[in-house]
A = this chain, B = another copy of it.
Amino acid sequence: MRKLGIGLIGTGFMGKAHAMAWKAAASFSGDVQPVLVSVADINGDAAQRAQQQFGFQRWTNRWQDLIDDPEIDVISITSPNRFHAEQSLAAIAAGKHVHCEKPLAPDSATAERMYRAAEQAGVITQVGFNYVKNPLLKLAKKMIADGDLGEINGFRGIHAEDFLANPAVPWSWRLDPSGGAGAVADLGSHILGMARFLLGPIEELVADLETVIKTRPESPGAATKKAVEVDDIARLTVKFARGCSGHVEANWVASGHKMQLGFEITGSKGSLIFNQERFNELQYFRFSEDESKNGFMTLVAGPEHYPYGLFCPAPGHQLGFNDLKTIEMLELIQAIADGNAAGPDFKEAFEIQKIVDAAVTSSRERSWIKI
């Protein structure tokens, strides 16, 4: 049995999610077993609590300790976004594999530097676009590749939530323009990544980015307001290299929508509809000979959709969000064992970031942009 030492940076919500995912992945990963070596948090108390609670062997308040730790093979990064580049690059330089939460970087130039560094170092990288780990999205991708939908003729994608819909929600780091764009980066990257996962590269777009709520309280309940400079809603029209086009929307002021990350893909023979709000279901239409018995079919995730069967022995039991995270870690373990890419890797994150950057440019210049 081969041991894979894990070092975790950050003990907030995603830190906990990573720790749990690494432990759960161990139950499926066979001969390569992840071992929780050390956890780092600038707040030493938090690091110590996390060490106990999540079962790490040691803790530290200096993330650099993990980089220097010879027992650690993989750095799992859940720190605030502004540290992602520095920490990733340090880990790569030390020859460690990296799983980094999104966004990888505030812009595509930085992302490019990061993926090239990883390529040169020959380490495996992964970025936390966990939604595409859904067994039903693997099925969707296979169905498209197999021609179940015929020739693809259209895409509609959206990632809408409502956590910033209320104008009383105060200014926060998500709205800091130094971190990059707004909804188009934070949410748009998910649906753009999903679009690429299913349909391949996007090569041209026109976009309209909008700041719906122009000022927000500086802090909760504060009377003083701070201007918002990033987009609340981004609307893209995109052209895929394969020849079809589509609409894509990213929106964090979409009242009532908690996780409307979804798409409709249509083709000459059939269609797929997906919504993360019911991510154990996939709607599938295919023209049949008998028109009187035709319609959208609701496919329910089950053991025949790998790797659902690792988690539940029967259909209808349902995977949860944290299971997607576990699949991510499991695939990273396997990639390290095999030397293959686990995906979405740093290069993929760079490709997604280029689309985000193009959307910002297109909106500013009010014109179509080639990517």
List A residues at the B interface (Cβ < 8 Å).
Answer: 1, 13, 16, 19-20, 23-24, 26-28, 30, 33, 52-55, 139, 143, 148-150, 153-154, 156, 158, 161-163, 165-167, 206, 208, 210, 212-213, 232-233, 235, 237, 239, 244-247, 249, 251, 253-260, 264, 266-271, 276-279, 284-285, 287, 291-300, 302, 304-305, 311-323, 366-368
Contacts and interface: CB of A to CB of B under 8 A. Distances in A.
A305 B295 CA distance: 13
A316 B166 contact: no
Nearest to A53: B27
Contact of A316 (B139, B206, B259): B259
Q: Could you say which of A206, A251, A368 has the most chain B C-beta atoms within 10 Å of its C-beta?
A: A206
Contact of A255 (B232, B255, B287, B322): B287
B154 A253 contact: yes
B256 A266 contact: yes
For this chain, the copies found in one complex come to 4
A256 B302 CA distance: 13
Nearest to A297: B297
Given A266-B256, A268-B167, A316-B277, A20 B24 contact: yes
14 contacts: A24-B24, A26-B55, A149-B255, A156-B158, A166-B268, A166-B287, A208-B237, A210-B245, A235-B247, A255-B285, A256-B266, A256-B270, A256-B296, A291-B304
Nearest to A12: B313
A156 B260 CA distance: 13
A336 B334 CA distance: 38
Contacts of A276: 316
B284 A293 contact: yes
Contact of A246 (B212, B235, B260): B235
Contacts of A149: 255
Contacts of A1: 52
**A-B interface, 9 closest residue pairs, ranked by CB to CB distance from nearest:** A320-B320, A258-B316, A259-B316, A256-B285, A317-B321, A258-B315, A297-B297, A256-B271, A292-B304
Given A153-B212, A208-B245, A311 B321 contact: yes
A257 to B, nearest CB: 7
Contact of A368 (B24, B302, B366): B366
